[in-house]
Each structure stands twice: as C-alpha cells, then as structure tokens.
Structure 1
Amino acid sequence: MELRHLRYFLAVAETLNFTRAADKVHVTQSTLSHQIRQLEDDLGQPLFERVGRRVILTESGQTFYEHVEPIMRQVDEAVGAVKDVPDELRGELRIAATHSFNVQLIPQCLAVFMKRFPLIRVVVEELSGDQISDGLVNGTLDLGISYRPAVPRGLRFEPLYNEELRLITPPDHQLASHRRVRMVELNGVRMTLLTGKFSTRQMLDECFAAAGARPHIVAELNAISPMVELVRRTGLCSIVSDNALKDEAGIVSIPLESPTPVRTPGLLWSQSQHRLPASRFMAETVRQVVQSPGQGGKSRARRRQSSR
C-alpha cells in the first residue's frame, strides 16, 4: 500500500464518481480503477459498491475513510510546511469569522500570524455562519472560523474545542448573584436572543424545551454586540459565548446547567478548492492559539464567572 493508493481512494470517496475522481488526481479512469482494486486486495475488503450508475462507500470503506482522511490531511500539511519557505510567503489570505470569534480569537491569531508572515496581506470579514459557508463554496474565502454548518455543502469542518454558552445579566439583576443557573430558572425571565434563523438560537430553543422553560423573549436581534448592549441598558438577560465578550463593563457572566448549552467551533474550508500555503499556516496558527494556556477560545470557554 502506497500514498497514491490512499489519495486515489480519497478522490473516489469524496466525489463518489470514478470519472471525476480520475480527473481530480490526473490519471485515467482505468488506472484509477486498477489502483482501487489493488487497495481492496491489500485490505481484503471491498471499499466501494456500484448501485446502478451510483458509487457508494461500503461500511468498510466509510470506516477506512474516517481514519485515512485526517492522516492524509496531516501529510499534505507536513509536505506543504517543508516545501513552502514561510519567510517568502506572499499574497493575500481571505478569512472570515462569526462575531463570537472576531472579538478576541481572530486578533490573537492575526498577531501571531502577521509577525511570522509579514508579507501576507490578510483580509478578515465578520460574517454569519451561512455567509461564511457561501464564501468558501464560491471561492471568495480561503478559510472560515465558525460552528459546524447544518449542511456540509462540500466543506471540511475541523473541530477546535467545545464551548459553553453563558447567561449574561446586568449586575443588579436577581440572577446576577447566582454561581450557576439552571435553564428551568429562566422560565418567564425577560430576555433578548438571536433570531430563529441562527443555529445557536435553534439550539437554545431545544435546551429550553428540554428543561420545560419558556423565557419571555422581548427582543430578537441578528447580531451579538447590540444584544450585549441591550442587556447593559435595559436589565434584560441573554445567552452568549464567552468569546463574544471582551471585558464588557456592566455585565455579569454566569454558567448554565441542566442542560448546559454547548457549541463546537472549528475551522472550515472547501474540499474542492486548492488550499493555499497561507491558509494552511493560518489554520495551524489558530490551532496553536486555542491550545495555548491563557489564550484562545479553549481557555475562555472555561473561564470562571466574573462580575464586572
């Protein structure tokens, strides 16, 4: 078994079409079919099954794909790191993040990345999750930092960490002194939340339903910043990630439980677009920042309640 066998397998697994897969790896279809048969012989298991004109992964093929794909991604990144001389990298990198990550995580990552690659021009946009997916699909973005999209649309998602959402209140609110708040305690509480088109809101509605709580939603907004400001000015409560807060004055952040709303942010990129070296290095920078003690989303997600 050689690396080319694995690359050919991934091409077929991701396109489910031998003709398109052959074009993708620049070989003839007969060569590709022969290499796949060799791989199946080595493994002693069929990896693909033809159903009419369709090609589908067998159970063994799906299991093999789940193990091979991350390995080959690491191989490609390692090869890219060796081939590309970081100090000579030039060009433009186009990335986008949702508001939660654009407040703190993106500036931290940019500070590290721009110091290492001063010749790269970085363009950052703050977009919704759907807009990020659209940009990656149509090629106007190179890398996204967001939550897992509901519809993959040919995008690769790499989880970074789990992030707990927290209740935020003004300091004089009746819940502000609580060390933790159960979701059922939000029954009837006046709140401002994101509109129903956001996946975060949909998840929160599921949590409310599971707890048997019906908060009084008096304002729905399509952005985090005005929602936080509304909490500060009106006495309403809201639920956001710690990543969305940046030493906000006049705001108390309180952990939630029973159930605890949790989201998983990650890196997003297109499977069909060629990944630029700058995009790979930025992805690596993000991984390093979120794993660094005292930095990034991983540590912020675990930050203790603080009254400001």
Structure 2
Amino acid sequence: MNADELRWFLALAKTEQVTAAAHELYLSQPTLSRALARLERELGAPLFDRDGRRLRLNQYGRILREHAGRALAELDTARRRIDALTDPDTGLVRLAFLHSFGAWLVPDLLREYRARAPRVRFALSQDVAEVVVASLREGHADLALTSPRPDGDDLAWHPVHSERLCLAVPPDHPLATQRRVPLASVAAEPFIVLRADTGLRRITDQLCRDAGFEPTVALDSSDLQTVRALVGAGLGIAIVPEPHAPEPHATDEPAGPAYLTLTDAGAGRTIGLCWVAQRPLSPPVVAFRDHVEGWARLSLPR
C-alpha cells in the first residue's frame, strides 16, 4: 500500500460514501473503488461492510484508520525534516491556536518572527481547545497555543502570557459603573458561555464552583466575539479576557459590554505553547518555539 491509498482510505472512512470521498479527493469513483479493492486484497480482509451503496467501517477498517493516520503523520514529519535540513530558512511551521488568539497574540508573534526569518512559511489553524490539542497529538500541527494547560504527560508546555479575566455586563446593567466585583454577586444572573469543549468554559465553570454556585446558562457560543456582542445586547453576562484594545463600534451599533475586574482568586488564565514531547521537531519549528519562549520572558510577570 502507498501513501496515496492510505489517504484515500481515510477519506472513505470519514465519509463512508464513495461518491462523497471521490468528490473530496478529485478522483473518479471507479478509481477510488479499485484502490479500495486493492487495499482489501493486500490486507486479506474487508475494511467496510456494504449496505447497498453505503459503506460502514468495520472492525478491520477501524484498526487500519488508527494506524494509517499515525503512519501518514510520521511520513509528513519526515518530509518536513528533510525539507528543513535542505534549506532550514524556508521550512514550514504548522501552528494551531484558539480562536480568540487570532486577533492579537498570533499576529504579534508572527510579525516579530517574520521580520527575522521572512522565508519561513506558516500553516495556521484555529479552533476550540479540544480540537487544537487533538490536532497536535494527531500530527496535524507542530505547535499549539492554548489555555488552560492540556492534560497528559505526552505534551510539553511553556507558559507564554498571563491574561486577566473579567466580568462582562450589559452597558445598562446595575453593576456597569462598578470597577471591581466578586463573582458571587452575580450568581443569580443568566450567563453567556463558550461551548463545553473550550478551555475558557472549563475555567468559567471552575470559577463559578469556587464562588459557590453553578451558572445558569442562557446562551452558548463557540466564538468569544459573539459572546461579547450578546452581552452588549443585554442578553446576559459573561466571564471573558480583558480586552486588549478598545472595541470599535459603528454609530448605529449598540454599545459594547462594560468590563469589571473580578476580585476572585484564580480569575485569570495562562496561555501556553505546547508540543508533543517525544516527537522530533524540524529546525524551523524549534527556531519559532525559541522565539515564542523569548517573547514570553518579556511578557510574563517576574
């Protein structure tokens, strides 16, 4: 079996439809069907159960899916390392990060680094914490910026930045003129939160538990800017990072939230850079990691 056949198989395993997989891979259906037949003959076992025109991944297919993903990730790593050794100044860095870091942290880091290494290429991906960490473990990313620190001894972690969390309330909220509040003072309020698979949601839930209550969730979202907008529209309150710059508003838009400092211990989050500890990193990835660690020494409180 070759790498292309494994990639085609993984596309089939995801869609379980020859038509959909062929369209995704820009292949003809007969070409994909013949490749699957060759793969099954080579392995001596069917990889899918057939149900009319529908495919169902079976126990043999699930085993191959697990190992094929790891094998392709290793091949990609080898290719990148060879490319980097051939010309380390033109290598590729695959960086995954949380959505909320795309507006300030990632641009700051890349702007400074590209000034020093303009020919290094970056492949950027952003998602919620759970997906970012999975992407790193599965070999789809070299480095990840996330918060809080992921569980597991397989990942190395370097703190990059400490971010204070605050309470966002509608501009006409009774507390909007206050500067500092304890979280317990809004225990009865409706909360707008991020989805359960996000890092900030886990921090929010823990802060509320530490304050002695479970938040009443009015709305949830996967996007921090949407959460801020919903608070500004008067639909609830939220725990969010302090804004890094004044939030612009058009004259016909409602005012944004008011931000109050939380007096609770632990009302903050540490952003960190992580990578798979035992996976070799290419020279461009190591150089960018060193750059981020140097940036962090200036950012973190002493």
Task: Give me the TM-score of the superposition, normalised by structure 1.
Answer: 0.61
Confirm whether residue 185 of structure 1 aligns to residue 185 of structure 2: yes
User: How far apart, CA to CA, are the structure 2 residues paired with 1:125 and 1:201?
Assistant: 20
Alignment correspondent of 1:195? 195
Question: Could you tell me how far 1:214 is from its partner in structure 2?
Answer: 4.7
User: How far apart, CA to CA, are the structure 1 residues paired with 2:88 and 2:241?
Assistant: 37
Alignment correspondent of 2:166? 166
Structure 1's consecutive aligned runs of 4 or more residues displaced over 4 angstroms after TM superposition are none
User: How far apart, CA to CA, are the structure 2 residues paired with 1:287 and 1:189?
Assistant: 40
Alignment correspondent of 1:248? 247
Alignment correspondent of 1:230? 230
Alignment correspondent of 1:207? 207
SS at match of 1:130: helix
Task: Say if 2:163 and 2:270, in contact at 8 Å, map to a contact too.
Answer: yes
User: How far apart, CA to CA, are the structure 1 residues paired with 2:219 and 2:143?
Assistant: 32
Give the direction of change, closer, same or farther, for the CA distance of 1:289–1:150 in structure 2 (3 Å limit). Answer: closer
Alignment correspondent of 1:24? none
The one-letter code matched in structure 1 to 2:92 is: E
User: How far apart, CA to CA, are the structure 2 residues paired with 1:111 and 1:202?
Assistant: 31
Question: Could you tell me how far 1:260 is from its partner in structure 2?
Answer: 3.9
CA offsets 1:19-56 (integer angstroms, 9 cap, x no match) = xxxxxxxxxxxxxxxxxxxxxxxxxxxxxxxxxxxxxx
CA offsets 1:42-101 (integer angstroms, 9 cap, x no match) = xxxxxxxxxxxxxxxxxxxxxxxxxxxxxxxxxxxxxxxxxx99x961121110111232
CA offsets 1:224-243 (integer angstroms, 9 cap, x no match) = 12111211223522111136
SS at match of 2:281: coil
CA offsets 1:269-291 (integer angstroms, 9 cap, x no match) = 11232112222222233233344
- How many positions carry a matched residue from both structures? 210
User: How far apart, CA to CA, are the structure 2 residues paired with 1:214 and 1:275?
Assistant: 42
Alignment correspondent of 2:10? none
Task: Say if 1:183 and 1:213, in contact at 8 Å, map to a contact too.
Answer: no
Task: Give me the TM-score of the superposition, normalised by structure 2.
Answer: 0.62
User: How far apart, CA to CA, are the structure 1 residues paired with 2:223 and 2:198?
Assistant: 10
Alignment correspondent of 1:125? 125
Question: Of residues 246, 265, 271 in structure 2, which corresponds to 1:265?
Answer: 271
User: How far apart, CA to CA, are the structure 1 residues paired with 2:241 and 2:296?
Assistant: 15
User: How far apart, CA to CA, are the structure 2 residues paired with 1:213 and 1:108?
Assistant: 37
User: How far apart, CA to CA, are the structure 1 residues paired with 2:213 and 2:235?
Assistant: 20
Give the direction of change, closer, same or farther, for the CA distance of 1:266–1:162 in structure 2 (3 Å limit). Answer: same
How does 1:50-61 map onto structure 2 within 5 Å?
Answer: none
User: How far apart, CA to CA, are the structure 2 residues paired with 1:251 and 1:291?
Assistant: 32
User: How far apart, CA to CA, are the structure 2 residues paired with 1:173 and 1:219?
Assistant: 18
SS at match of 1:119: coil
Alignment correspondent of 2:103? 103
SS at match of 1:100: helix
Alignment correspondent of 2:282? 276
Alignment correspondent of 1:157? 157
Alignment correspondent of 2:147? 147
User: How far apart, CA to CA, are the structure 2 residues paired with 1:162 and 1:219?
Assistant: 27
User: How far apart, CA to CA, are the structure 2 residues paired with 1:221 and 1:267?
Assistant: 24
- Structure 1: where are the runs of 5+ without partners? 1-83, 300-308
Task: Say if 1:211 and 1:259, in contact at 8 Å, map to a contact too.
Answer: no
- Structure 2: where are the runs of 5+ without partners? 1-83, 249-255
Question: Could you tell me how far 1:199 is from its partner in structure 2?
Answer: 3.8
Q: Percent identity?
A: 24
The one-letter code matched in structure 2 to 1:274 is: P
Question: Could you tell me how far 1:222 is from its partner in structure 2?
Answer: 2.1
The one-letter code matched in structure 2 to 1:266 is: G
Alignment correspondent of 1:39? none
